[in-house]
Structures are given as C-alpha cells and as structure tokens.
Amino acid sequence: MNVLLVNKFFFEFGGADVVVFRLIRELEDAGHSVVPFSTEHPRNRETKWARYFVPHVSYRDNSEGPLRKLVTGLRSIYSPVAARNLNLLLDAAPPIDVAHLHNFNYEITTSILPVLAKRRIPVVWTMHDPQLVCPYHRLYDYRTHEICEDCAGGRFYRAPLRGCIQGSRLKSAVGAAEAYYCRWNRVYERYVTLFTTPSRFLKEKVIAMGAPVEPDRIVHVPNGVDVNNITPAGDDDGYLLYFGRLSAEKGIHVLLEATEKAPGVRLVVAGEGPDERAAHQFVETRGLADRIVFAGYRSGDDLQNLVRRARACVLPSTGAENHPIAILESFASAKPVVASDIGGIPELVSEGETGLLVPPGDPEALALAMRRLSEATALARQMGRNARRLVEEQYDWKSVAPRFIKAYALAAEREVSESAAGHTRKTTE
C-alpha cells in the first residue's frame, strides 16, 4: 500500500508529530510505502520528497503590517501553493492508495482536499484537535485561560468577539473565517472519507458540538507508544518531570504555583513555548531556582533519560487534552502521572492505579498530589508498574498501527461503494 502522509511539521515539534513518525516507521516495517507532504523547516528530517514541501510561515509574527497580515491570513484559509505542490508530488510519486492527514491547518490548508478528490484518493484524517467545531482548534480562550465552547453549533463569529486566539481579535477573525469557509463549502463532508480520533472524548465532543459529519464516519483509534524501545529504570532521582509545550493551555503557570506551594518537591521542566520567558521570570522572582530546573527542549534519548530518572511526571493542563503522548511515554517508562481531570486524560490515568487526577487550574490540589508521589516512593513505583502494564496491553504501536491500516481499508471500501452508488462525497469541480 502507498500512503500519502500529510502533516505540517516534518520534525518532532509536538505530540502529533511524534505519532506521525512512529506511524511512518510501523507502516514501513509492515512493508508499506509512505510519501510525506509537509512544510519546509530547518529542523525537518531528510526525505527525497522535500522539494515539494510548502514554504513555512509563522503565524505568531506580530511585527507584520496590516496588509501583510491580511495576505498571511487569507493564505491560512486556502493555499494555492500547497495545492500546486501536492499535484506535482502526486505526479512524481507512485500511485497513492490512501491519504492520511494529521495536522495540516493554517499552512497546508484544506486546499489539498480537492486535489485528492480529483484523483479519487480516499482520505483518512486523524483529528488531533477539535478543528471541526472550534476556530482556535483547542476549545480554549487564550485571554481567560478557560475552556470555551462558545462556537458550538457553528457560531464561529463568537471567536473574534472573544479574541480567543492568542488574545487577538484579528487572528480570531481569521480562524472564524476558516471555519465558516469549511462549513459553508461542506469541505469535510465532501472530501474526507473517514475521521479518526485518538480519544473517545474528542469523538463525543465534536459530535455534541455539531460537527457537520455523520457520527459513523468518526472512529476511535488511540495514539500508540513504542513500548519495546523504552526500558524503565529500577530506581529514580526523586524529581518530578514536566515535558511538553510551555503555554497557558498546558497549565505551566499552574504547575509553577503548585511547586511553590509544595516544599521539598523538586521539578524539572523540559520544553519550549510562548510562556517560556514568563516561566523563567516566575522562578527567579519567587526564588525557586534551587527546586525548579529548566532543561530546555529535549527529544529522543535525552528526553527518555529524563523520564526514566523521574519519580513521576506531571501534566497540569487547563485545556481539553485529547490523548497525550506525554502520558503514554511516561507510562512506558513505568512512571505514574499527576494530571488534570480534563478532556481525554481520564481515559488513560486511573486515580490511584496509574497516577493521580486533580481539578484543572487548582494549584493547591496539584501541590498535594505532587507531594504525595514525591514522598511515597513505594506507591509511585507500584503505580508505575501498573502504568507500564497498561501500555503493553493496550497502546503498544504493534497493536495500534494495524488499527490505522484497518481504517485505510474501511475508507477505501467506502470510497468504492459510494462511487458505485453514484453519490460519492468527493466532487471534481
């Protein structure tokens, strides 16, 4: 099988990108061929298909003038360059059996979907976020640091009213315009054959909020973790570890406040993001440098070693998490997780079994849970053994990858049956 795999990053920037590269390896190990389509970036992995990638644009650049921002905003809705380059790639690549989309919004855009439709390529889209129902794709208000579902039912005009995207009404208006464009043009209904969601939470949430697709076109396929390549350590160095994006919806500010309220707890923070400077300032101002260490961005063996030496890991999210890779990787290292009771997290973390759950945005509750695992070595290690067993049984890539292959086959069957019936969703306008 020849699989076109679309993701806007071709390096490990976040959890979705980790999933992409692990899936590529599993597909290739199973004898399938993968053709990537992504954006240009200095950190990209090497591939012979890079010549067809789309130029990268940062949407966090606030130095642009109004006209340039408008042009950039329009491109985030529809990219002629992406459509053209994908056509060129498909001309050069072997015949594609299925296209598997991951995160492609803003830079690659839905402009590629009609290209795939004209070539009658079935499309499977793994939703790593609630893009179908939320212009910010996060169900989160950046200004208030709160869960937000105001746009349920297609009321996307509420995004610019709130200024929820990075605190900017202009960026929120662009996000709303993208959402309306897709809704009014029935983009998802016409061009995506099958959707998968890593968590049951996300599937239920987008359906409840009025996603414009039939529920039976959304199937649950969890993220996986490479269990065999992660060997747990028999002991630890006593610190707690946060690894991930340093941003508001990840709860980094809550984590730092909780650590201040938990004397004796040592915390290592590994990652980068928009709140990185504020996090450093908090630690310096509060005199916490002896207990909180910033390790910077880590990946690969460097990150795995940090996880292996930790007592436990922490995921203090205030936003609605989907199916966090950080939890799976912690579990594979036999580390329990202290996490917010929000989104898809409770599908992974069982209270008292594989970790501890706390109310999101509550530094006092988080501090108590962190102290508990920091001080209770035997409890932490027992929870870690439970966690390791869980991922071995349910989330190893060797069992998850075949579920994606099954989704590809289902998408192909649907494409054929709908074409035979004369009412395929994919049009050729």
Per-residue pLDDT reduced to its tens digit, 155-194? 999 999 999 988 889 889 999 999 999 999 999 999 999 9
pLDDT at res. 119 = 96
pLDDT at res. 396 = 97
What confidence tens digit (pLDDT) does each residue in 103-127 have? 998 889 999 999 999 999 999 999 9
Phi and psi angles of residue 375, each rounded to the nearest 5 degrees, phi first: -95, -25
Domain ranges of the chain: 2-224+397-421, 227-394
pLDDT at res. 427 = 40
Which residue would you say has higher pLDDT here, 32 or 424?
32
Average pLDDT rounded to a whole number, residues 222-242: 94
Average pLDDT rounded to a whole number, residues 31-53: 97
- pLDDT of 60 above 70: no
Average pLDDT rounded to a whole number, residues 124-136: 95
pLDDT at res. 68 = 56
The fold adopted by the segment(s) 2-224+397-421 is Rossmann fold (3.40.50)
Angle between helices 397-421 and 15-29 (to 10 degrees): 80
Cα 199 to Cα 180: distance, rounded to the nearest angstrom: 25
Average pLDDT rounded to a whole number, residues 294-301: 92
What are the structure tokens assigned to 362, written together?
A: 């509550």
DSSP state, residue 397: H
Instruction: With beta carbons less than 8 A apart as the criterion, state whether 414 and 194 touch.
Output: yes
pLDDT at res. 429 = 36
pLDDT at res. 420 = 53
Cα 115 to Cα 113: distance, rounded to the nearest angstrom: 5
Q: Is there a common fold for 2-224+397-421 and 227-394?
A: yes
Average pLDDT rounded to a whole number, residues 254-271: 97
The pLDDT mean for the chain works out to: 92
pLDDT at res. 59 = 54
Instruction: With beta carbons less than 8 A apart as the criterion, state whether 39 and 9 touch.
Output: yes
The fold adopted by the segment(s) 227-394 is Rossmann fold (3.40.50)
Angle between helices 252-260 and 276-285 (to 10 degrees): 10
Query: What pTM was estimated for this model as a whole?
Result: 0.90
- pLDDT of 27 above 50: yes
pLDDT at res. 1 = 94
Alpha carbon of residue 409 to chain centroid: 24
Average pLDDT rounded to a whole number, residues 58-76: 59
pLDDT at res. 13 = 85
pLDDT at res. 342 = 97
Average pLDDT rounded to a whole number, residues 314-334: 96
What are the structure tokens assigned to 191, written together?
A: 């061009």
pLDDT at res. 369 = 98
Cα 213 to Cα 343: distance, rounded to the nearest angstrom: 21
Coil, strand or helix: which one is 54?
A: strand
pLDDT at res. 419 = 57
Cα 153 to Cα 165: distance, rounded to the nearest angstrom: 19
What are the structure tokens assigned to 395, written together?
A: 């989330």
Cα 412 to Cα 408: distance, rounded to the nearest angstrom: 6
What H or E segment, with its residue span, contains residue 140? Answer: strand 140-141
- pLDDT of 409 above 60: yes
- pLDDT of 7 above 80: yes
Confidence band, pLDDT 50/70/90 cuts, at residue 421: low
Average pLDDT rounded to a whole number, residues 390-405: 96
pLDDT at res. 166 = 84
pLDDT at res. 426 = 47
Alpha-carbon Rg for the chain, nearest whole angstrom, is: 22
7, HSE (Cβ side, Cα atoms, 13 Å) = 27
